[in-house]
Copies of this chain bind each other. A is one copy, B any other.
Amino acid sequence: VIVRLTLSYRGTAYSGWQRQANAPSVQQTVEEALERLLGCSLRIVGASRTDAGVHARGQVAHLELAAPFPVRGLVHGTNHLLPQDVRVMAAAEMPAGFHARKSAAAKEYSYRASRAEVLSPLDAPFTVQVPRQVDPTLLAAAAGRLAGRHDFSAFAASGGSHRQPWRTIFAAEWQERGQELFFRVVGDGFLRGMVRALVGTMLDVGCGRRNVESFAALLRGADRTAAGPAAPAHGLVLEKVFYPAPFILPGEAPPPVW
């Protein structure tokens, strides 16, 4: 049976999702808890390879089990064995053919920034401080150019190995909440480092260091050096992964369409 896990984690203490030889990863942490619970060795496959320090509310992973296991037992049993900064939010048996990464039709990320002079300790682990003069109107204008299918080469981190740099953005917007600036983006896929590079470049626009047209021009393909710096990891949250039928769970939204 193929089991789907929905995972939430605070990325602060991890070198990212992906298992690595000499650094703590979320993947390895979850695998070790499942191995202790189930008494067998196993591997899980995540939908998104979130970077070091990036958080998740709705990461999805799958694993194959030789025999069925009650899903509520899987949720609570695994959580009992996990450290406090990683949680299995839900588990479900999936139809044959489900693959957390390959079946994914879209993903949603959020990014939280604040213009406050001092960040509250309640927000600081999840919020990036940006200059007071960042103009929400300019951020909104930049985000307004993102929807559609573009060549995102200018926003791909050098370590990425993507066959093609075209991705479709279904929705992208900045919300202003007092001093806070909250970015939300939904796309059919994201190149490595793409959201952080987009946010960093939009913040350049917001500060007046770059204009909206020069940002929009980068969406037609360009060298990574043409775009702005990557925004820090700890503002980024993988919110949700969307799957098409027959992999949509009860209560879940279908993938967005363009």
Contacts and interface: CB of A to CB of B under 8 A. Distances in A.
Contacts of A88: 118
A120 B89 contact: yes
Copies of this chain, complex-wide, total 2
A9 B119 CA distance: 10
A75 interface: yes
A122 to B, nearest CB: 6
B10 A122 contact: yes
A97 B226 CA distance: 57
Interface in A103-133: 116-122, 124, 126
Interface stretch (A79-87, A169-177, A194-202): A79-87
Interface in A58-104: 75, 79, 84-90
B121 A9 contact: yes
A237 interface: yes
A8 interface: yes
Nearest to A237: B122
Contact of A118 (B87, B122, B124): B87
A10 B126 CA distance: 14
B126 A8 contact: no
Contacts of A90: 117-118
Interface size band for A: 20 to 34
A226 B8 CA distance: 39
A240 interface: no
Given A84-B124, A124-B84, A89 B118 contact: yes
A192 interface: no
A57 interface: yes
A110 to B, nearest CB: 11
A55 interface: yes
**4 A-B pairs with the lowest CB-CB distances in the bound complex, closest first:** A8-B120, A10-B121, A85-B121, A89-B118
12 contacts: A8-B118, A8-B121, A9-B121, A10-B121, A10-B122, A55-B122, A75-B118, A84-B124, A86-B121, A87-B120, A89-B118, A122-B237
